[in-house]
Amino acid sequence: MLQINGIKLKIDEDESKLKEKIEKKLHTRVKSFEIRRKSLDARKEPVYVYSVLVETDHEEKYLGKDIVRYDPVDLKAEYRPRNQVCIIAGYGPSGIFAAYRLIEAGYRVIVFEKGKRILERQKDVERFFREGILDENSNVQFGEGGAGTFSDAKLTTRIKDPYIDYILDVFVQHGADPKIRYEPHAHIGTDEIRKIIERITDRLMEKGCEFHFSEPVKDLILDESRRVTGIVTDQGEYRCDHFLSGIGHSAYETIRMFCDRGIYIEKKDIALGFRVEHPQSLIDARQTGSRVKEANEYFLRYKGEKGVYSFCMCPGGIVIPAMSEKRTIVTNGMSYAARDSGNANSAILIQIRKEEFEDGYAYLHEIERMAYDHSGSFKALSQNVADFMNGRLEPLIRESTYPLGTVLYDFNRFFQEEDLRIVKDALKDFDRKIPGFIQEGIMIGPETRSSCPVRIKRNEAFESVNTPGLYPMGEGAGYGGGIMSCALDGIRIANAILWKYEQISGN
Ligand SMILES: Cc1cc2nc3c(=O)[nH]c(=O)nc-3n(C[C@H](O)[C@H](O)[C@H](O)COP(=O)(O)OP(=O)(O)OC[C@H]3O[C@@H](n4cnc5c(N)ncnc54)[C@H](O)[C@@H]3O)c2cc1C
C-alpha cells in the first residue's frame, strides 16, 4: 500500500474528485484508496491538503517525494484467557478504553460507575436543565460515558501516537462517521457520542465485562505491603489483581478517601475563568474569505506573565450548567452534531499556579459556592464583556443559551488584582484577532473544572508510587485532559498491565 501526501482540493471541490487527482499524479488507475489525513492550508487561497492510502499494481515504482510505502500496523491485543481480575472505577473515556483493551486481551473486567446508564442519565440531565433539580450522582460529570458525554465531543489532540487511530477506529466501529479518522477538527456531537458509548458498553457486556452502575467505589482493601487487593462499595467487597482508577476531576470524595488511605498525591496547576459567548456569525465572519462552510472554531492564546487561553470551544453550541454538587455553579459548553445553535462559546481561562493555593479542590469549591451564594440559585453569573472591561454592570446585550438563566455579576471582583489586569490585556488581544470579541461578547461563569488540581503520582510501571496494584488514569489522576488523551491513557494503563503479565507468565 502507498501513502501519498500533498493531494490538494479547493475548498468547494467535492472529495469524489480525489480519485481523479491521485490517478493523474500516478499516471495509472488505482484499485482502491482511503483518506488518511486532511488539513486546511489557508496561507494563500485556502485549500484542503490530503494524505491518502492507495492500492495499485507495481507500487514500488511510484515511491519518491510525497509517496511512501505504508504498512498497516495491527494494534489489536492478542486474546488469551488471563485468569486475572481488573477492577475499574469510573466509566469515562479512560475507563471505557482500559476496559475495551483488557477485555480484548482476555482479562476478567469489572467496572464500577458512580452514575447511571446513559438513557436514565439523560433524563436526569434534561430535568436539571429544565427545572434546576440536580441529582448529585447523575449529571453532566457522572454516569456512563463520563464527563465528555454531554459535550461537543471534539476529538482534537496534539498527541502523536498509533493508538489514536485505534481509538478512532473503535468509535467508527460503533457508529461514528468514518470522517472522524481524518477531519482536521473532528467532533461527534453530544447526540451521537451518547449512542456510540451505549453500543460500546453493550459490546463489552457481550464479551463478558461486568458492569455495576450506581455503585461507586467507597474504599480500598490494602494488604500489609500496601498493595490494593480489592475494593469496597455499599453492596460489598470485591477482590482484584489490579485496580484502575479513572474517576475524573470531580470525584472529590474519592480523592479524599485516597488521601485518608495514604496514597501519594501532589498538587498541580489549574486554570480558572468564565465562558464567553458570541453570535456564531461573528466568528464565521473572520473566515469568510476561506469559504469554509462549517461553524468555525477559534483557538486563542495570550502570553502575558501568565497564560490566558480559550478552551473547549463549542461552535454552534450552548453554555451548560456542569455542576455535580448542590449549592455550587460551574459552567461548560456542549454542541449537537449539527452545531446549529447560531452561537459560539468557549472558556477563557487564566493559569493559577499551584503555589497560589493550599488545596486546589477547596480553592475551586469556594469559588463555585461563592457563585451560588451570589446567585441564590443555579442561575449563572453573567456580564457583558465590554462592561467588564469598563467596570460597569448593565443588562446583557443578548440572552445567553445557558438554560437556567443568569444573574448580573461584576467579574472585576472575581480575579486577583494581577490576574484581572492580565485577563483584560488578553481580551484586548483577542479583540484584535477577532474584531467584535469584546463588544459582542457576554461572559457566563464561573468555569472551574477545566483541569484536575491533583496528580496521583505513578511510577514507570504506571502504578501509584506508594500503592502497588493501583493504576491511576485519566483526568482525575492528572494524566490527561480531553476525550482522546484520557482514552489513550486508559489504553496505556491496560498495556502496562498486559506487559507485566507477559513478563510474569514468561510469554
Ligand atoms: C461539559 C463538558 C464538555 C466537554 N467537552 C469536551 C470535548 O468536546 N472534547 C474533549 O476532548 N473533552 C471534553 N471535555 C473533557 C472530557 O470530557 C474529559 O477530559 C474526559 O471525559 C475525562 O475522562 P476520564 O475518563 O478521565 O474521566 P471522566 O470522563 O470524568 O469520567 C469519570 C467517571 O468516574 C465516575 N466516578 C467518580 N468517582 C467514582 C467512584 N468512586 N467510583 C466509581 N465511579 C466513579 C464518574 O461518575 C465519571 O463517570 C468536556 C467536559 C465537560 C464536563
The mean pLDDT value for 363-368 works out to 97
What atom in ligand 1 is closest to the CA of residue 144?
Answer: 49
Compute the 3-state secondary structure of the chain and give helix, strand, coil in percent, each to the nearest 5. Answer: 35, 25, 40
Assess whether the C-beta atom of 106 lies below 6 angstroms from ligand 1. Answer: no
Q: Cα(145) to centroid of ligand 1, in Å?
A: 7
Measured between alpha carbons, how far is 75 from 105 in angstroms, rounded to an integer? 11
CA of 257 to the centre of ligand 1 (A): 19
**Residue 343 CB less than 6 A away from ligand 1:** no
Closest ligand 1 atom to residue 247 Cα is 34
Mean pLDDT for the chain? Answer: 94
Q: Looking at the predicted structure, is the pLDDT value of residue 229 above 70? A: yes
**DSSP, residue by residue, 303-329:** ESSSEEEEEEEETT-EEEE---STT--
CB 488 within 8 A of CB 161: yes
Distance 490 CA to ligand 1 centre (A): 12
Q: What is the mean pLDDT of residues 48-74?
A: 90
Cβ(489) to ligand 1 under 6 A?
no
Query: Hey, what's the cell of 390?
Result: 469598563
Q: How confident is the model at residue 186 (pLDDT cuts 50, 70, 90)?
A: confident
Distance separating alpha carbons of residues 59 and 62, to the nearest angstrom: 6
End-to-end CA distance of the chain: 32
The Cα-based distances of 90 to 2, 122, 282, 382, 419 in angstroms read 41, 18, 39, 33, 35
Nearest CA to ligand 1 atom 17: 148
Give mean pLDDT, residues 440-462: 96
Please name the residue that has the C-alpha cell 477545566.
450
pLDDT of residue 11: 85
Q: What's the grid cell of residue 421?
A: 489586569
Q: What confidence score (pLDDT) does residue 286 get? A: 74
Nearest-angstrom CA–CA distance, 468 and 458:
10
Q: pTM of the full predicted structure?
A: 0.93
Distance, CA 400 to ligand 1 centroid (Å)? 25
146 lines ligand 1 (CB under 6 A): yes
User: What are the distances in angstroms from CA 406 to CA 183, 372, 394, 396, 444?
Assistant: 36, 11, 13, 9, 8
| Model pLDDT, residue 148 | 85
Domain extents for the chain?
2-69, 85-266+454-505, 269-447
Q: Does residue 129 register a pLDDT over 80?
A: yes
Q: Mean of the pLDDT values across residues 166-170?
A: 96
Q: Is CATH 3.50.50.60 the classification given to domain 85-266+454-505?
A: yes
244 CA distance to ligand 1 middle (Å): 15
Q: Compute φ and ψ for 370, nearest 5 degrees.
A: -55, -40
What percentage of the chain exceeds 70 in pLDDT?
A: 98
Average pLDDT over residues 141-168: 92
Average pLDDT over residues 219-241: 98
Q: Note the pLDDT of residue 165.
A: 93
CB distance 450 to ligand 1 below 6 Å: no
Instruction: Report pLDDT digits (tens) over 398-414.
Output: 999 999 999 999 999 99
From ligand 1's centre to the CA of 278, what distance in Å?
26
Q: Give the least confident one: 52-66, 161-175, 278-292.
A: 278-292
User: From the CB of 238, is ligand 1 less than 6 Å away?
Assistant: no
Q: Going by CA atoms, what residue is nearest to atom 18 of ligand 1?
A: 482
Residue 72 confidence class, pLDDT cut points 50, 70, 90: confident
Question: How much is the average pLDDT of 332-360?
Answer: 94
Overall CATH class of domain 2-69: alpha beta
Mutation probe of ligand 1 site: the residue of 94, 253, 254, 312 with most atoms within 8 A of C-beta: 312
- Report the alpha-carbon distance of residue 392 to residue 381 in Å, rounded: 15
Q: Please give the pLDDT value at position 290.
A: 47
CA nearest to 184, candidates 92, 317, 51? 51
Say if ligand 1 is within 6 A of residue 248 CB.
yes
Q: Could you give the strand order of the β-sheet that contains 242-245, starting from the edge strand earlier in sequence?
A: 210-213, 108-113, 85-89, 242-245, 470-472
Cβ–ligand 1 distance for 486 under 6 Å, the answer yes
Q: Is the pLDDT of residue 117 over 80?
A: yes
Q: Which atom belonging to ligand 1 lies closest to the Cα atom of 89?
A: 43
- Ligand 1 neighbour 481 (Cβ under 6 A): yes
pLDDT digits (tens, 9 = 90+) for 308-328: 999 999 999 999 999 999 999
User: From atom 46 of ligand 1, which residue's Cα is the shortest distance away?
Assistant: 142
